[in-house]
Amino acid sequence: MDVGTAEAVESAGPDARTAALYARDATCRGLGITLDEVGTGRARMSMTVSAAMVNGHGTAHGGYLFLLADAAFSYACNSYGPVTVAQAAQVTFLAPAAAGDELTAEAVERARSGRTGIYDVTVRDSAQKVIAEFRGQSVMLAGRPQAG
C-alpha cells in the first residue's frame, strides 16, 4: 500500500487511512500517544505524562493536555475519509495531572452540519478522574471528495 500521498490515504478503507495518518503523525509517535480505538466519528488515545511535559509549577503542562485531546479529535473527525482539520477548540482544565499519570482522551462527535463538525473530548487519568473537557470545531476541506 502506497501511503505516501493524501490521495492514497483518502481512497483507502477507513482502517488503512487511519493507519496511514498515524504512520505519518510525527507528533503522536514522538510523544508516545497511542491510538487505542477509532470508529466513525470517534477515537480514543492515551499518553503517559513524562518528566519533559511538566511546567514551572510542577504539573503537566496544559499544552500537552490540550494536544492529547486535539489528537483524539483529529482522528475522530478524519474517520469519515476527507481531509478534515481543526478550525477552533475550547478546553476547560478541571484538575491537574502529574508526571507519570496515564491519561486517556475519548473523542465523540456531537453534531455535524455541512462541512462543520463538533466533537467533545474528555481527558481522564487512570483513576477515571476527569482532567479536562475539550470541544473542537472541525471543517472538511473543500474539493476533497468522501472516500469510497
Binding site for a copy of itself (CB under 8 A): 6, 20-28, 30, 51-58, 61-64, 66-68, 70-71, 74, 78, 83, 85-96, 110-111, 113, 116, 118, 120, 122, 130, 133, 135, 137
State the minimum distance, in angstroms, from the CB of residue 102 to a copy of itself.
18
- Quickly list DSSP for the chain: ---SSHHHHHHS-HHHHHHHHHHT-HHHHHHT-EEEEEETTEEEEEEEPPGGGB-TTSSB-HHHHHHHHHHHHHHHHGGGSS-EEEEEEEEEE-S---TT-EEEEEEEEEEEETTEEEEEEEEE-TT--EEEEEEEEEEEPTT-PPP-
Q: Which is nearer to a copy of itself, 27 or 126 (CB)?
A: 27
C-beta of 51: minimal distance to a copy of itself in Å?
Answer: 6
If the CB atoms of residues 104 and 122 are measured against a copy of itself, the closer one turns out to be 122
Please report how close the Cβ of residue 112 comes to a copy of itself at its closest, in angstroms. 8
